[in-house]
């Protein structure tokens, strides 16, 4: 039986991350000038792609299945970003262009 560990992932406005199956998202926050996601993972588990979107306060958010994960404050709080995961199972969902 393998042990779980915490991994950090740096996010962009649109991110497709290779994460171990069953990864449990613990937190989304700023670190320096990056927005980061921390997840509890089994490093030996097979990997799967998970997709994330980030929106600033006041920006439109598409009408698609999203799960809110957290908020990060950048530039001393001048920029507030809200992070969502695209909920799988929506065959029509894709990264927003």
Q: What is the pLDDT of residues 10-37, one digit of tens each?
A: 999 999 999 999 999 999 999 999 999 9
Question: Is residue 93 situated within a structural domain?
Answer: no
> 54 lies in which domain range?
5-86
74 belongs to a structural domain: yes
**Does some domain include residue 92?**
no
Q: Is the pLDDT of residue 68 over 60?
A: yes
Query: What percent of the chain clears pLDDT 70, i.e. is strictly above it?
Result: 90
Asked if the model's pLDDT at residue 93 lies above 60, the reply is no
> DSSP assignment, residue 59?
S
Name, in order, each residue with C-beta under 8 angstroms of 5's C-beta and a sequence gap of 6 or more: 40, 41, 43
How far, in Å, CA of 37 to CA of 87, rounded?
16
User: CA-based angle 88:84:73, to the nearest 5?
Assistant: 165
Which pLDDT belongs to residue 24? 97
The answer to whether position 61 is within a domain reads yes
Q: How many domains does the chain have?
A: 1
**34 in any annotated domain:** yes
pLDDT score at 88: 78
**pLDDT (0 to 100) of residue 95:** 39
């Amino acid at each position: 039986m393998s042990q779980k560990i915490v991994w950090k992932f740096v996010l962009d406005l649109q991110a497709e991350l290779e994460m171990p199956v069953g990864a449990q998202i613990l937190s989304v926050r700023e670190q320096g000038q990056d927005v980061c996601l921390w997840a509890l993972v089994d490093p030996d588990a097979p990997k799967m792609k998970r997709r994330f979107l980030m929106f600033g306060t006041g920006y439109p958010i598409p009408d698609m299945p999203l799960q809110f994960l957290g908020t990060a404050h950048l530039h001393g709080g001048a920029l507030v970003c809200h992070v969502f995961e695209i909920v799988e199972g929506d065959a029509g969902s894709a990264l927003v262009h």
